[in-house]
Amino acid sequence: MPPEYADDIRDSQFAFERAMSKLTKATSGIRRGLSVEIDKDVVPSAKAAWEEGRVALNSFFVTLNTATGLDNELAVIPPAGPNQLQEYGRSIRRYNEFMKKTKLCQNRGGPTLSQAWGQLMVSGYLQDSCGVEPLEGYFFQ
């Protein structure tokens, strides 16, 4: 990175790491699959840490976009609200499909073993070794 942007990128990185550390501390001891009562004091601190991390990540994206000269290459994450998903412009359906295909590929032993299984299959319905679309198609929606 050019020196004039390096300090901004580093500051954004450190701010994001601090926010995620706060989020980790706020949610420590809470397990996703267990039906445990969540303390009411934890939720506001976790949301505040999440918002702080969102702002830091957005500043990182803006600095990278400015440094590379590509103004809207990395989309910033809009603030929470009723229109957040529409403003962000990413598809939840495509994300879920991508994650399912990635997990299926991992269960088959990764791209190398999946390709070997695909060659043994007579039908050959897999488009590539894992059936996962190229990341360029996913990230540039």
* Residue 112, pLDDT above cutoff 70: no
Look-up of token digits 């412009």: 89
> In whole angstroms, how far apart are CA 82 and each of 10, 45, 96?
32, 21, 21
Measured CA to CA, the distance from residue 35 to residue 37 in angstroms comes to 7
pTM: 0.63
Q: Where are the domains of the chain?
A: 3-88, 92-139
Per-residue confidence (pLDDT) for residue 49, from 0 to 100: 93
* Residue 84, pLDDT above cutoff 50: yes
At residue 128's C-alpha, the angle toward residues 96 and 89, to 5°, is: 30
Measured CA to CA, the distance from residue 6 to residue 16 in angstroms comes to 15
| Residues 15-25: tens digit of each pLDDT | 999 999 999 88
Measured CA to CA, the distance from residue 49 to residue 122 in angstroms comes to 52
Per-residue confidence (pLDDT) for residue 87, from 0 to 100: 76
Confidence class of residue 72 from pLDDT cuts 50, 70 and 90?
confident
Measured CA to CA, the distance from residue 21 to residue 54 in angstroms comes to 13
